[in-house]
Structures are given as structure tokens and as C-alpha cells.
Structure 1
Amino acid sequence: MIIELTQLTHKLVAQNKWGQAFDLIKTLPYPDVGNVLDKLPSDAAYKLLMTFGQEQRSHIFAYLNPVKASELFHLMDGDQTIALIEGMDHDVRADLFNRLTEEDRNTLLAGLKPAEREDIRSLASYAEKTVGAIMTSAYIALEDDLTVEQALLRIREKAADAEIIYQIYLIDKQRRLKGTLSLRQLLMAEPSAVLRDIMVTDVVSITTDEPQSQAIKLIAHYDFLALPVLDGEQHLLGIVTHDDVLDASQEESTEDQMLLGSVRADYPNSTSLKDASIWLLYRMRVFWLVILVFGNIFSGAGIAHFEDLIESMVTLVFFLPLLIDSGGNAGSQSSTLMVRALATGEVRARDWTFMLGKELSVSLLLGLSMAAGVSLIGFWRGGAEVALVVSLTMVVIVMVGSLIGMLLPFILTRLKLDPASASAPLITSICDGVGVLIYFNIANLLLDMPSI
């Protein structure tokens, strides 16, 4: 439906029928309006955006592609940008502020009220991928010495500017977090009750410098709508909401998928694969491919070392791709399972010895199962001796490949690197080189061949 609406809007804009184009999209949800404007030329998108009311503009702007948002931002005059920023969610405007040039930032800050200016500077100051970078300051915090009746009055006053009103955070005079109450608990409590007497004091929280992944885990584990964010002295600085965590989780998942495919993870979230330039796609992929090319030289060197053995029994070459690919496949499976387990917290770095024992057992069973099948082919192609070589090699290669795939994410975690860097192409390249050495060394030992 959105595709059809976008195409029709394009057609109406091309015919200069701006009123009909606006009527077509004005009742759509804000995310859908953002999708339509993303596909229009910047001047047309700007004209349609300015047809909406000021509050609507601010909401729609939050759903625009960051590149399109920056283009429209630069088409606005000073008063329009100030009004737009003041109507946006606090965390969204901080993200926009970070994408502006230094000159644009200074111009914007000069026109804002002091409180708004300080809020943007504070939220925009946190490092990427930290909790502080995705938190918002639009929440409701009340002193813990208020009564329920007083609290409900304050909530009515602050609700319009808060991102979430269903959870109320209770603080002391120094803004240290003391407890929390849900809106339901407040509504069911006696009006004369003091908040500190009925609040929940065992509050799950997080600090600004912790990684976003920790906030994702906590919100998913406890089913929170929001998570309070504190500094080192327990002062309440903001909250992380479930929708911001969902966005962060999607970004991290995208990065992990790219790393698993040996694609550089600096792919801009603002660019779709369809819209990405050839040069961008080239830069994303060339680094790891070149590295893996040189890595595969070791496989070639291993084959060259056993030239005499290969010349003596050409049948061995038939099984080479089958065997080394099996090791790479087993390693990729093991690596994928381990990266996922480390990312979700099911497995921790200290569990490596336990997982090593388990992987040895699993890989042995896998190797034996695969060897049973390949032994028949080996017997048919080269007799009992070749069948023995191929079967034994299959067991060893699958076990070694699985262990490489399991251990590499642990090693990367220990080195404070992303375990997702243990990508399938990387695992496969390592297993290829190791597999060649295993195969021909076993063949050299078991077959009646001249020593190499």
C-alpha cells in the first residue's frame, strides 16, 4: 500500500497538484508519511512537510531517513529549525544535532532556550554505542516525599512532555534515584499515602557508559517499558525506552550479520542496499575479501607441498573439496551458535572449558556420521585404503573445524573484540588451510607412498 501511495504522490507532485498530494498522505501514520517523503525529491518533500502543522512536522521528521532529514533541515530557515527541534523527542533531536556540521550546531544552539540548549548538549555528548547515546531526558521524576494526590497533579502537568508516563521515578533532593512506581500503583493507592512509603525500592538500572547491548538484555529480560539511567553517584540522568532499545537491537543485529558475512560493519544505517553507491558497496566488501585471498595462499602452499603424493594417487584430489568444505561448514555452524550464545548472554567467556568438552563430543558424533557416508564413496573410488583415509580425515577435520569455530569467538571476546568478527568466510578459510594439511598428512601416513 505504501508503495502505491508513494507512486501516486510522485505523480501528483509532478503534475503540481500539491493539495491533492497532501490530502493523500495527511491521514497516514507518521512513520508512513516519513516513508513517502523519503522517496520524493528534497524540494518536494520539504514543501509537503511544511504543509503539516508544527507538532506534526516534528513527529514526521523523526521517521525520516537521516540523509533526507539533513537535506530538509538545510532547506529550513532559522525559525523553522528552532520550532522543529523544540517539538521533537529529546533523544531524536540529539541524534540530529550530532549529524550537523559544527557551523549548523552553533547556529541552532544560539536560537534555543538555555534549558533546551543544555539538554541537547548533554544528550549529544555520549559516545556512540553507549546507553547515554540512546537515552532520553523526557521522563517523569518526582520527589519521594510527595503524597499520591500531589504526585498525580504533577504528572498531569508533566505528561505532555514525557515520553513515557506509565512508570514514575522517585528521587531525593539531590536527584538520586530512590524508587519507582507504576501509574497503576499510584491510581490504586490512598490519596494521602506518601510515595516513599509505597514505592518499589529494588530498582533495576543502568549507567550511561555501559554498552547498549546491556540495556537491550535488561529490557528484554524484565519486559520493561523503560530503564532508568544513572551516573556513578546514583543520580537519575534519563531513561532508555523499549522503542529506542528495539532500534539499537536492530542496528546491532545488522552489524553482526555483516560481520558474519565478512562485510565491514560501518555500513550507514541511513542508506538502503538499493540506494547504496557502487563505491560504498565496494569499500564495504573489499577489505575482508583481500585478507581472505592472502589467507587462502596457505591452502595452496599446503597442496604444493604434497605434489608428489598427489601425483602418486590422483584419486585423493577427488575428495579434497568434499573434506575441507566439511570442516569449514562444521566450523561455521559452531561459530554461528557460539556468537549467538555470547550475544544473548547464554554463554560467558568463562564457560569456554565446559563448551569445549561439549563441542568435542558433538563434533565427534558429527564426524563419525559424515565419515560413514563418505567411506562408501571412498571404497568405490579407491578401495579400502582410500576409504580409511577419507573416513579418518573426515572425523578429524570436522572435529578440528568445529573447535576452531567454537574457540575463535571466545578468543575475540577475551581480546575485547566483537565475537561476530569470527565470520563464516574467515572460519572457512582457516579450516581450508588446516584441512589440507590434515588430509594429506593422514594419507601420507596410511598409504604406501614415498615419504614427503
Structure 2
Amino acid sequence: MGEANGIQVAEVVAQQLESLLEAGNYDGAKLLLGPVQEVDAAEAIGSLPRTLQALAFRLLPKDEAIEVYEYLDASVQQTLLERLRSGEVLELVEEMSPDDRVRLFDELPAKVVRRLLAELSPAERRVTAQLLGYEAETAGRLMTTEFVDLKEFHSAAQALAIVRRRARDTETIYSLYVTDGSRHLTGILSLRDLVTADPEARIGDLMTRDVVSVGTDTDQEEVARAIQRYDFLAVPVVDREQRLVGIVTVDDVIDVIEQEATRDLYAAGAVQAGDEDDYFQSNLFTVARRRVVWLLVLLVANSGTSAVIASQELVLKQVVVLAAFIPLLIGTGGNVGAQSSTVVIRGLSTQRIQAMGAWRAIWRESVAGALLGLLMVLAVVPWAAYVAGSWLVAMAAGLSLVAITTLAATAGAALPLLFDRLGLDPALMSAPFIATATDVAGVFIYLQTASWLLQRAAPG
């Protein structure tokens, strides 16, 4: 409900803001933006025509402008960089948090990144270069270096003074990390425990030494799972020598979850994801190019169905009505395969399949497919007998239906698991691909079953 209200607020603000800016009422626009939350202001500015975005952004107070900028879509951020003066751009990039700055740089041309890096202050340039040095989609690339670290010999009173001094420049202060003289991570302490502790108590006596951390090369999905599993607001990131180098916060993980979910959904729909974030802003030729790759693959695969039908020409000529039930059978098989692949891909994402075991998951879906086929036979066989006027055709449709649903469910479960075992994205074994493969196998099973029954029923 809160999210829906936020979207409505942003829409109303965007409409009013556009009217005020077009009328030249800049004081009114500034007053309008004043009480608006940063995320809603970003949404409103992003909805404006490009010619007005920079104008609206300049009306924001300096401190608020930095936060609003970090909420903007990458395409809007780039537009503002092009339209703002070089001094404004440098000040904006300098004040951004390191992780948000790196995310912006990932979207910019290399030439622009080099220029901006050269103009940053030495401290910010060093931090940014460090994060850019890590592999994409890893904890090192995702983390921020803005955190509070304490020493075991600090008293609670000293630690509180450090937190107060560094709070403004830190991403989060609710989790405090303890390091030794070589920056090795030795413990963790919550702000609540620090505030309620005796002022003279040592941090070494208050902290928890059993710390969950991730490495700089840990995949971003694994980082997201760790934060979700332990209900963290942030997770510490250590290098190979177990030195604390940064933290990944829950707001960054939410972005990762959205990105990965978008990628999986595109793959499951046989769409080449590309740059997911700007898909709906891409031109139609780019959209078509992204979709045509898998469609061409599926087109070639579907030619197998035509080849199977052509090879069974004699059977179809003998009993023409057999052709009437091909769409029903292959459609059912495709739907069952899509259901199984969706269930398994989701189970892999949530780690449920790993807990259950791959073979058990495949067996479970195979049995489910067989049961689905048997249930549908109760409706299909009488209907097929009525339409075709032949119990022989009805029997062929019924037996084929059970075989096809069982095969489709097995393939829908096994193929994503095989991709996962090979280290590939299971979502690449998309529902359309599985449905196409099931179509070919389904037509073959159906016509072979009909041929066998006809031979058995033939006199002598």
C-alpha cells in the first residue's frame, strides 16, 4: 500500500512540477520539491521531459540533490551529466557514496569515466578505482567502503564518540565492525548493544566473535542470500587475508534481487536480456534484436515437429482425424513442461531444490506429470471418442497424453537442473525451449502410438 501511495505521490508531483517549470515559476517548483521524499523526487524528475530534468534537479538543495541523484535511473543520471556544467558534475560525483558512484561509472562510456576519475579527489579516486578493480556482479563491486570500525581495546564511551563523529559519512551505523591492528575482522557489535552497555566496558567483551562475512569475489546472488538468511541490514566483506574492506547493505541487495529476477524472467520468456534496466527505453530495432535470437533457435527446433509429421504421412492418410488432436497433445505437454521448469527454476533460486536433492525433485515432477496425464485422460478419451467416432483414436490420444505429460514434467525439471550442474543459468533452459522440445517428442509419441494400435487392430 505504501509503495502504491509513493508512486501516486510521484505522479502528482511530476505533473505539478512540469506545469510550474513550463510557466517559469521556479520558486513554486522549489517549494513543491521541498517536503517530497528523495525517492519520490527522483521518480518525479525522471518522469519529466529531458529538457526539464536538469532544470528541476538544479532547484534541489545541495545535500538533497546527492541523495535524489542516487535514486535516479541510470539513463536519467547520464542525461543530467550531459546537461549540467562540469563543475556541478564533479561536485555531484565527488559527493556520491562509492558504491553508487561505481554503479554510475558502469553505465558511462569509458572515456567519460577516465575523465571523471582524473578529476576526483585523491581519496575518492583511490576508493573508486579499488571497487572498479573487482569483477562485475561480485561483493567487491557491490560494496561500499563507508562503515564504522572499532578496536577491541576501545571502551563503550570511546566507541560511541567514534560513531557520532563518523555517522554522517557512513552508509549505516546499526552494525559496527571490530578489527585488529592489521584490519582483520575479529567481531561485530550492534548499535543497540553499544548504547545500552556500561560506558567503561571494553568492546572486546561486548562484541560477537562469530561473524558471518563474504569475500570480495563472492557472487552478488550469494551475498543477497546471506543477508536474507540472517536478516542482516549489512554484511561485511573481507579480502583473501580476512581484512575488512567494505560492507554490502540491504538496499543494494534489493537492487540485486530485482536485477536477477528480471534477468531470469526474460530468459524464461526466451528473450535475450541484454541491459535489463533500459529494455523499455530501447528502440524497437534493439527490442527485436534481443527477441529474435531465441525465436530463431525455436524456429529451427520447431522444424523437427514438421519433420515428424511428414514421416508419419501414411498413418495420417489412413486415419485423417488423428491430426485433429495434435494441437491438444503438444499444447498440454508444453504447458506441463513450462510449469515444471518454472517450479524448479524458482526452487533453485530459493535453495529449496538444493535442500531436497536434484533426483528427488525430478522424480517428484515426473510423478506429478503422470498424475496430471491420468486425470486429463478422464476427460480427453470420452471427448476424443465422440469427436473422432473411434475408440481407437481416443485410446491413442489417451495413452499419448499420459506419456507426453510425464515426459514434459521430467524434462521441465531435469533440463534446468542439468544447466545448473554445468554452471550455466538454469533460466536459459526457458519454458518456450522446453515446450518446443516437448512438441517434437509429443507428436512422435502420439503418431507412433496410433500406428501401433492400428497395426494391432488390423485383421489377420
TM-score, structure 1 normalization: 0.95
Match of 1:328 in 2: 334
After TM superposition, the structure 1 = structure 2 runs for residues 108-119 of structure 1, keeping only pairs within 5 Å, are 108-119=116-127
Task: Give the CA deviation at 1:151.
Answer: 0.7
Name the CA distance, whole Å, in 2 between partners of 1:229 and 1:50: 36
Gapped runs of 5+ residues in structure 1? none
Residues 349 and 196 (structure 1 numbering): CA distance in 2 closer, same or farther, change over 3 Å? Answer: closer
The SS at the match of 2:209 is coil
**Structure 1 residue 4 corresponds to structure 2 residue 15:** no
Does the aligned pair in 1 maintain the 2:94–2:121 contact within 8 Å? no
After TM superposition, the structure 1 = structure 2 runs for residues 112-261 of structure 1, keeping only pairs within 5 Å, are 112-261=120-269
Name the CA distance, whole Å, in 2 between partners of 1:109 and 1:308: 72
One-letter code aligned to 2:357:
D
Task: Give the CA deviation at 1:349.
Answer: 9.5
CA RMSD of aligned residues (A): 1.7
The SS at the match of 1:202 is coil
1:192-224 per-residue CA deviation (whole Å, 9 max, x = no partner) reads: 211112210111111111111111111111111
1:360-379 per-residue CA deviation (whole Å, 9 max, x = no partner) reads: 32222111111121111122
After TM superposition, the structure 1 = structure 2 runs for residues 283-322 of structure 1, keeping only pairs within 5 Å, are 283-322=289-328
Match of 1:443 among 446, 450, 459: 450
Question: Is 77-86 or 417-426 further displaced after alignment?
Answer: 77-86
One-letter code aligned to 1:200:
T
Question: Is 379-388 or 223-232 further displaced after alignment?
Answer: 379-388
Gapped runs of 5+ residues in structure 2? 1-7
Task: Give the CA deviation at 1:25.
Answer: 2.1
**Structure 1 residue 425 corresponds to structure 2 residue 432:** yes
**Structure 1 residue 75 corresponds to structure 2 residue 75:** no
The SS at the match of 2:137 is coil
Name the CA distance, whole Å, in 2 between partners of 1:123 and 1:371: 59
The SS at the match of 1:170 is strand
Does the aligned pair in 2 maintain the 1:225–1:242 contact within 8 Å? yes
Task: Give the CA deviation at 1:76.
Answer: 2.8
Name the CA distance, whole Å, in 2 between partners of 1:440 and 1:43: 63
Name the CA distance, whole Å, in 1 between partners of 2:355 and 2:412: 15
Match of 2:412 among 405, 423, 439: 405
Match of 1:351 in 2: 357
Does the aligned pair in 2 maintain the 1:349–1:414 contact within 8 Å? no
Name the CA distance, whole Å, in 2 between partners of 1:267 and 1:102: 17
One-letter code aligned to 2:446:
Y
One-letter code aligned to 1:446:
L
The SS at the match of 1:347 is helix
The SS at the match of 1:179 is strand
1:107-135 per-residue CA deviation (whole Å, 9 max, x = no partner) reads: 32333221111011112222222122221
Task: Give the CA deviation at 1:350.
Answer: 8.9
Task: Give the CA deviation at 1:90.
Answer: 2.0
Name the CA distance, whole Å, in 2 between partners of 1:99 and 1:395: 50
Name the CA distance, whole Å, in 2 between partners of 1:10 and 1:190: 55
Task: Give the CA deviation at 1:404.
Answer: 0.7
Q: In percent, how many aligned pairs have the same letter?
A: 34
1:333-388 per-residue CA deviation (whole Å, 9 max, x = no partner) reads: 11000000011111129922222322232222111111121111122123222222
Name the CA distance, whole Å, in 2 between partners of 1:288 and 1:15: 49
Match of 2:389 among 382, 391, 397: 382
Task: Give the CA deviation at 1:43.
Answer: 4.1
The SS at the match of 1:62 is helix
Name the CA distance, whole Å, in 1 between partners of 2:432 and 2:366: 22
Give aligned pairs, total: 448
Name the CA distance, whole Å, in 1 between partners of 2:408 and 2:279: 35
1:130-153 per-residue CA deviation (whole Å, 9 max, x = no partner) reads: 122221111111122211111111
Match of 1:106 in 2: 114
Name the CA distance, whole Å, in 2 between partners of 1:358 and 1:70: 49
1:136-192 per-residue CA deviation (whole Å, 9 max, x = no partner) reads: 111111122211111111111111111110110000111110010001111122212
Name the CA distance, whole Å, in 2 between partners of 1:198 and 1:9: 51
Does the aligned pair in 2 maintain the 1:315–1:382 contact within 8 Å? no
**Structure 1 residue 37 corresponds to structure 2 residue 38:** no
The SS at the match of 2:338 is helix
Does the aligned pair in 2 maintain the 1:349–1:413 contact within 8 Å? no
Question: Is 396-405 or 183-192 further displaced after alignment?
Answer: 183-192
Does the aligned pair in 2 maintain the 1:97–1:120 contact within 8 Å? no
Match of 2:5 in 1: none
**Structure 1 residue 95 corresponds to structure 2 residue 117:** no
